[in-house]
Amino acid sequence: MNFHIKILNKTGRRKLSHDGIKYGILILEAKGVMTGFIGGGKMAEAIIKGVRSQESGVRRDIFLSEPLEERRRYLAETYGIRTTESNKEVASSCSIIILAVKPQNMENVLDEVGGIISEDKTVVSIAAGITLSYLQAKLKTKRLIRVMPNTPAMVQEGMSVISLCECFSDNDINTVREIFMSAGKVITLPEKYMDAVTALSGSGPAFFALFVESMIEGGVKAGLNEDDALMLAVQTMLGTARQLDTGISPRKLREMVTSPGGTTAAGLKVFEEKNFKNIIISAIKAAADRAKELGQIKN
């Protein structure tokens, strides 16, 4: 799929600008199909980085708008993209519009652009808690997709889950899927699972980070310096993840490492005594419940 830039001002003339707006826009144009990302934060950057890293497909020209001049300049210089300042320009000129804004900003964005998003446009939201029914109530188009990505997308190891209606062709879905696959793995699930997805893969990186942080502190208390403890903990996490990615079950891997009466068994006994597993399960439930609450607030 070949992409090229199309940047227009209000008169329809081409322009290149680093001017920004409140929420930001990323635009791709593919064989006459414009894709716009409204939002210039970390997740938008992760997607840009993934798209720019591709040897083929959704690789080339990107157009983004962002309120902070310093941020616009950074994104332009780092990824070779162009910038603009109008959400409405993106909404009117793009066939696919990806809403990459925070949930609390979604209503203002939709109020701004909703009137000019026609029925033939596809709208994709990556905001936590924003349901398809909420988007449907705010927009004319029924071509709505909800995606929950996560921060490992910043290193092209993200996990994105897509929910959508049945009104899409395979070609439409493949276009959106390809964008998110540039930053990691993608699966499709019914929307009823999105709160659980948000808790597990959306919030999960923070939970893993806390565990690694604790392992580092434990290593330091055991006599290691912090740099060595960091390397040992991070590499152990990466290696374990890669082992699990081969298909071995977590239980089987744990049993492989654990010898009766050994060091691992001693550590696991402490986890069991402190009810570690139930703490993790409760944390996932709390995050899922909060995701549900956020959705109810917006609906």
Beta-strand runs (E) in 8-125: 25-30, 33-38, 63-64, 82-83, 96-99, 122-125
Question: What's the pLDDT tens digit per position in 237-266?
Answer: 999 999 999 999 999 999 999 999 999 999
228 and 160 together in one domain: no
Least confident of 18-32, 153-167, 262-276: 18-32
- Whole-structure pTM value: 0.82
Query: Cα(125)–Cα(127) distance, rounded to whole angstroms?
Result: 6
Q: Residue 273: which domain range?
A: 204-296
How high is the pLDDT of residue 216?
A: 98
Cα 135-62-59 angle, rounded to 5 deg? 105
Distance of CA 53 to the CA centre of its chain: 17
pLDDT confidence bin for 296, thresholds 50/70/90: confident
CATH code of 281's domain: 1.10.3730.10
150 and 42 together in one domain: yes
Query: Cα(39)–Cα(21) distance, rounded to whole angstroms?
Result: 10
Would you say residue 20 lies in a domain? no
How high is the pLDDT of residue 14?
A: 39
How high is the pLDDT of residue 83?
A: 67
CB 204 within 8 A of CB 157: no
Would you say residue 1 lies in a domain? no
- Given a cut of 50, whether residue 291 has pLDDT beyond it is yes
49 and 115 together in one domain: yes
DSSP bridge partners of 163: 146
- Given a cut of 70, whether residue 207 has pLDDT beyond it is yes
CB 180 within 8 A of CB 147: yes
CATH code of 70's domain: 3.40.50.720
- Given a cut of 90, whether residue 110 has pLDDT beyond it is yes
46 and 137 together in one domain: yes
113 and 150 together in one domain: yes
158 and 212 together in one domain: no
